[in-house]
Structure 1
Amino acid sequence: MTANIPSRSYWLQRWTALLLTGILAGLGGMLLALLLHEIQHLVYGYSQKALISPQSFLEGVTDASAQRRFLALLAAGLIAGCGWWLLARYGKKRVSISAAVNQPDKPMPGITTLIHSLLQIITVAMGSPLGREVAPRELGALFAGGVARRLHLTTADIQLMIACGAGAGLAAVYNVPLAGAIFTLEVLLISFSWEAAIAALVTSALAAWIATLGLGDEHQYRFTTEMAATSLVFWAALSGPLFGIAAFWFRRITQRARSKVRSNWQMPVFSLVAFAALGALSMWFPQLTGNGKGPIQLTLAGDVTLKLAAAILCLKIFVIWAVLRGGAEGGLLTPGLAVGALLGSLLFMLLGRFFPGSDMASFALTGAAGFLSASMQMPVTAIALMMEFTRMDHSFLVPLTLSAAGAYMTFRKLDG
């Protein structure tokens, strides 16, 4: 009987770690999202009386004067360049989420990770074209690692908790519990077991629910197309490889930009120039500001013209490259979705007449899923994300799967 006591005790410790990971990741994601909204409203002067308001970021930025947009982005460039330069010079060496998962004996430095996360949220809120999803993932992984070590879990379980914490952070900030769990398994652990799957589902579901207490139970995008047309299945099968090729070059561009960053005097200068260019372009194209959520919604609503979609697509890729080259940090999830959705809408306006019954929103949806699947090498997560982002009808599952699979396989062939 006594031989079972340590096992039962450890079982309790493990479940305590799982629950605390979900709760802390949810609180962290919620607070970061609220901070993002507060800064957005303050900088661009909209929805001053409510953190969660019906007015979108794109609407707020568009209503702001061109001069205000330019100055806001100039300030963002100064904060990004100086902030990350000083952090690299005086902070402890940062440990990425993937490094923390692969080497659980090397904990993520608390202050450095917190500052790194806050810099991402602040600059994205001020208009950086990069994504906000890395910050809550880092915070979730940091909390999870700390909890697991304090509860004296094994090395394998510390690794699992860190991965679950990062996935739960993603689930919290976007209200995507299923996608957060799949992300944990597909991208971070790169393996599947029922034990890991249950842990990932518990933490992501709990984190997403905790976050809704402050952010509300809303999905990210309005998608009103009721059912997928039969022609969309054929389009998805044909276009998947095209999105894979586009994602391959996009990933090359962004990786090269990041590889050229030097943590010296160049960082503040290059960052300021990059954000100044973004600010100047935003005077004519306010859609370029922010992580890309605005342009995605425009494509899903069918509210872009051929010229506007082409201009935003090309300029969006340019400004993403520019700020990465300048040393700014952030995710590429929503930016990747935006590039894929814009490319999909552009192709609809050129070729949509050959696929009767389909609309721009459907082409944008499959384009976003295919592009994200390849650019971030996570086909299953990409499909789950689009399902939870849009609450689409299940009839879109086949087109999305075909697009994601075709893009992913094409990317792997080119990258092999």
Structure 2
Amino acid sequence: MIADQSLLRTGPGALSPGSAVFACRPDQTRGRLKPEPESPTRSVFQRDRDRILHSGAFRKLKYKTQVFVYHEGDYYRTRLTHSLEVAQIARSVSRTLGLNEDLAEAVALAHDLGHTCFGHAGEEALNEAMRPYGGFSHNDQTLRILTRLERRYAEFDGLNLTWETLEGVVKHNGPLLPELPGHRLPTTIREFQEVWDLELGTNPGMEAQVAALADDIAYNNHDIDDGVRAGLFTLDEIAELPPLDGIIAGLRDRYPGLDHTRMIHETIRRMIDLMVTDLIAETRRRIAEVDPRSAAEVRSAPRALVAFGDGMREHDRVLRGFLKQRMYRHYKVNRVTSKTRRVVSELFGLFMAEPECLPTEWQVDLAAMGASDDTSRARLVADYIAGMTDRFALAEYERMFDMESKT
């Protein structure tokens, strides 16, 4: 049994923020790669969160696709609104479990910084183009942004975040396999690991685990919201999926004649609440089973401690399958993603063949790393394209391929 029975209390605010013995504590941080004086008014994790919020990469998420390209409608999610929703859920769950809210929020806000324009379609196209040069993954690109590409500070590249935040971002979906025959770590993660050991084979801290599940909760539920609003499927169709069947039936009994917009919102908020409640209950059960006494014991635990129960995991699997078939593979979405893949592929091919077409500041960087190195050039071109917003990528494509366009 767990020694501290207060960990099993239920209800909002069951533990004060950061009070659990297994929470990551700012006064026990492993520090920053480049030591610097800390703020007298903010903890190290608050400072990490603020640096992420003020970064250029975070602002650009406003015009990066979640599922729908930005110009398709003002009410659909973007990477920015998604990241804010993930942070809200992660913060609330962390508070209830007595974890460090600031660290959970920092990981949640940073977790999608490395996504390309045009969502997963853009990432798939860029990964295919980069296959001869080590491939591309948004998680690896996030670490590149946080440690190299953000250039705001006089004394270092990147944001110089704490070990705990970087570890949480890199491992928020779980441990990374060691390099094996036929399997290599992504380029930036592998190179950074040689400089600063993120203990890739262990669990992340609980705050990062919370951020990962908050991502799943926000992603699935808000894709349902966007999918219904876009007319890709109806409320009646999702009403056949448990536990949405019970939620929607209950709403129709309680609020007969409720208008469509309110019905969607009430459905989504209840589904989020159900998933969060299940997550907290299962996590508390696992905490009681393992009884971790420190963040280090969380990392060495035999499995993740933050999780859904078996029933909710099955519901989540069914819901993901429905969304894959009815939304992500819908012909209207496929038509747009087909176009956007071509945009990314053709821009990559052009800039690789004619790097002199890159903006001046990127040509300066290319010259500094050696223009004759194909792999370095490919990585720089990938950085340029991955950093584009949807609208900038479309405009750049027009500038490069439309003879009538002004450069």
Same fold by TM-score greater than 0.5 = no
Q: The TM-score by the shorter chain falls in which range?
A: under 0.3
Structure of higher CA gyration radius: 2
Name whichever structure is richer in helix by fraction: 1
State the TM-score, normalizing by the size of structure 1.
Answer: 0.26
